[in-house]
């Protein structure tokens, strides 16, 4: 059904997409609604008070936010800003995370310290202020909760779910994942575990990831509405043909595949703290390429190209690589002619040594790297976050990317290597290039640029079969439109607009 409106003058309440659990599809639905509202003549903006993710992005101001909110801003057609994700937690171990507030790191916290009541009100004031600034500029604000709204043991310290919805006076739509099972219990339990005040705020339910004939769930839909006294706004079918950047690395385990014939085989090293895996989205869709994630030494050595990706914990992952034999496998593969390409933490790992004299990452003070690049890295407390424009290997094209890293890398032998890139601003050199089979850079998003991909694949020309260059920007916009069309088809948009305009 086509439920478009064109009424940008109408004020819409802030909308929060809350979840019955993690990975139910809140981020994707938020992305779809940002696109739909934009198509319908509004000026939406995304907001997530607190996000936990290793996949982050640099704003135009050179500050850091969760990648999901950057994607949602892109779908909304507006520049991303730290107000859209004022608090970002980047896990550095099972118990500790780096805390990024308003785009800047303020230190590492363990989970116990972070979730104590002490100091929470200061963070609450910051996320409230960020929301207030967004609300003044955009209509509507599309808010996203985190995990499950039913963690009642965290109710007093929660910054991102129902307390945030109360502050924003937002209408809450509960998102449930039917694919994992237990959808009736998860919806009913999520509603009934709320306080009476918060229960009234939940205005609808979206059931996500449905497989099969929707007519078979009509009775189930009616039962949910009767049990909870809340309308089911839509049952959204599972899709396989729409490509939207993922918020976290949950799906990477499903991409562990073996090398194949007839394509350029590119293996991304599956690091324990792998970050910014969206660096490989464009490459994964290149028809010349078969890309897979692995830490299996045999599969690494079968690859034509090995990419050592970004990581939140360079020294910890380097220690693992040396311990499990992956480091030696990468070195052997390179000696046998495999191209090795490092990005950010992977660039640091490919050098001769990584040092952390101040213990920024932890207790490991120094480790020898893979020794493939003549560089040395010192981990430093100050984080570099910025968007950049550059030229790659003298190519005439102006490329774009972004940096997010803690560390300074210096070339130890300028006779052995040259710069990989030249920044447009200041004409400064960046990265390290030994030859066409060995290079590294700090720039995330470098593989979104066609000239870089073409250069990387050039030695394997006999395996090429793509006839037309891939336009990443057009592809992303096409996917946002496809997602909006898919969600609009199955979501009762007139009822949603009625909810968002109704004065209680």
472-489 per-position pLDDT tens digit: 788 899 999 999 999 999
> Residue 500: is its pLDDT beyond 60?
yes
In the chain, the percentage of residues whose pLDDT exceeds 90 is 73
Mean pLDDT in residue range 186-213: 95
| Residue 126 predicted with pLDDT over 70 | yes
Q: Per-residue b/e over 229-241, b at no fewer than 16 CB within 10 Å?
A: ebbbbbbbbeeee
Given a cut of 90, is residue 470 above it in pLDDT? no
- pLDDT band of residue 1 (cuts 50, 70, 90) is very low
Q: Which domains does the chain have, with CATH numbers?
A: 15-243+478-501 (3.40.50.300), 263-464 (3.40.50.880)
List the catalytic residue out of 273, 334, 405, 444. Answer: 444
CA 425/CA 396 separation, integer angstroms: 15
Strand pairing report for 375-392 and 421-423: antiparallel
**Average pLDDT of the residues in 352-363:** 92
Query: What's the Rg (C-alpha) of the chain?
Result: 24
Could you confirm whether 444 is annotated as catalytic? yes
Torsional class of 278: left (φ above 0), alpha (ψ -120 to 50), beta (otherwise): alpha
Q: What dihedral do alpha carbons 70, 75, 80, 81 form, nearest 10°?
A: -90
3-state secondary structure 61-81: CCCEEEHHHHHHHHHHCCCCC
Least confident of 130-139, 248-257, 264-273, 366-375: 248-257
Report yes or no: 292 and 259 within 8 Å, Cβ to Cβ. yes
Per-residue pLDDT tens over the stretch 129-161: 999 999 999 999 999 999 999 998 888 889 999
H helix runs in 161-255, sequence order: 162-168, 183-192, 196-201, 218-228
Look at 267 and 92; give whichever has higher pLDDT.
267
- Please indicate whether residue 405 is annotated as part of the active site: no
Q: Which residue has the tokens 């799906």?
A: 251
Give the other-Cβ count within 10 Å of 370's Cβ.
Answer: 22
Q: pLDDT grade, residue 95 (50/70/90)? A: confident
Type and span of the H or E element at 128: helix 120-137
Residues 456, 132: Cα–Cα separation, whole Å:
46
Quick one: pLDDT at residue 489?
95
Q: Which of 34, 80, 344, 411 is catalytic?
A: 344
CA distance linking residue 316 with residue 321, whole number of Å: 9
Across residues 328-338, what is the average pLDDT? 95
With H, G, I as helix, E, B as strand and everything else as coil, classify residue 445: coil
**pLDDT in the model for residue 469:** 60
Total-model pTM: 0.81
Q: What is the pLDDT of residues 272-315, one digit of tens each?
A: 999 898 999 999 888 899 999 999 999 998 999 999 999 999 99
Over residues 179-184, mean pLDDT: 92
Instruction: Looking at 269-422, list the stretches that DSSP marks H as alpha helix, in order from N- to C-terminal side.
Output: 281-284, 297-301, 314-323, 326-335, 345-349
Query: Which phi and psi (to 5°) does residue 469 adopt?
Result: -65, 145
Q: What is the pLDDT of residue 426?
A: 80
Where residue 441 falls (left for φ over 0; alpha for ψ -120 to 50; beta otherwise) is beta
Sequence-ordered list of residues with C-beta below 8 angstroms from that of 91, at least 6 positions apart, any chain:
52, 54, 97, 273, 312
**Rounded Cα–Cα distance for residues 19 and 375 (Å):** 45
């Amino acid at each position: 059904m086509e439920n478009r409106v064109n009424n940008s003058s109408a004020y819409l309440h802030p909308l929060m997409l809350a979840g019955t659990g993690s990975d139910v599809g809140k981020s994707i639905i938020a992305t779809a609604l940002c696109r739909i509202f934009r198509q319908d003549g509004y000026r939406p903006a995304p907001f997530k008070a607190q996000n936990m993710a290793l996949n982050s992005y640099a704003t135009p101001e050179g500050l850091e936010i969760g990648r999901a909110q950057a994607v949602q801003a892109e779908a909304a057609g507006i520049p991303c800003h730290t107000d859209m994700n004022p608090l970002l937690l980047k896990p550095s171990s099972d118990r500790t995370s780096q805390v990024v507030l308003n785009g800047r790191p303020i230190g590492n916290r363990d989970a116990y310290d972070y979730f104590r009541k002490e100091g929470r009100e200061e963070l609450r004031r910051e996320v409230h202020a960020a929301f207030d600034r967004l609300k003044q500029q955009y209509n509507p604000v599309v808010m996203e909760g985190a995990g499950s709204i039913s963690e009642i043991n965290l109710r007093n310290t929660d910054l991102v779910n129902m307390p945030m919805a109360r502050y924003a006076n937002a209408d809450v739509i509960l998102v449930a994942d039917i694919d994992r099972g237990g959808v009736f219990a998860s919806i009913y339990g999520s509603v009934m575990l709320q306080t009476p005040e918060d229960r009234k705020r939940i205005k609808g339910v979206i059931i996500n990831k449905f497989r099969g004939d929707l007519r078979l769930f009509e009775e189930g839909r009616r039962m949910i509405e009767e049990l909870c006294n809340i309308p089911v706004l839509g049952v959204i079918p599972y899709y396989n043909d729409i490509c939207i950047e993922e918020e976290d690395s949950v799906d990477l385990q499903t991409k562990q595949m073996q090398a194949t014939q007839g394509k350029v085989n590119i293996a991304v090293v599956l690091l324990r703290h792998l970050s910014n895996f969206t660096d490989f989205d464009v490459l994964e869709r290149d028809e010349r390429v078969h890309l897979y994630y692995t830490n299996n030494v045999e599969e690494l050595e079968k690859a034509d190209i090995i990419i050592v990706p970004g990581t939140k914990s360079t020294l910890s992952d380097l220690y693992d690589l040396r311990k499990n034999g992956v480091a030696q496998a990468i070195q052997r593969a390179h000696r046998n002619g495999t191209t090795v390409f490092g990005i950010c933490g992977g660039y640091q790992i490919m050098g001769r040594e990584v040092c952390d004299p101040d213990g920024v990452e932890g207790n490991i003070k120094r480790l020898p790297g893979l020794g493939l690049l003549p560089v040395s890295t010192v981990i430093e407390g100050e984080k570099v976050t910025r968007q950049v424009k550059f030229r790659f290997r003298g190519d005439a094209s102006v490329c774009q990317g972004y940096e997010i890293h803690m560390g300074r890398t210096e070339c130890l032998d300028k006779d052995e290597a040259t710069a990989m890139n030249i920044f447009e601003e200041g004409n400064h050199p960046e990265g390290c290039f030994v030859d066409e089979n060995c290079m590294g850079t700090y720039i995330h998003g470098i593989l979104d640029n066609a000239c870089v991909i073409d250069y990387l694949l050039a030695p394997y020309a006999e395996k090429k079969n793509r006839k037309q260059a891939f336009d990443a920007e057009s592809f992303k916009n096409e996917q946002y439109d496809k997602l909006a069309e898919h969600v609009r088809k199955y979501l009762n948009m007139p009822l949603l607009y009625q909810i968002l305009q109704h004065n209680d």
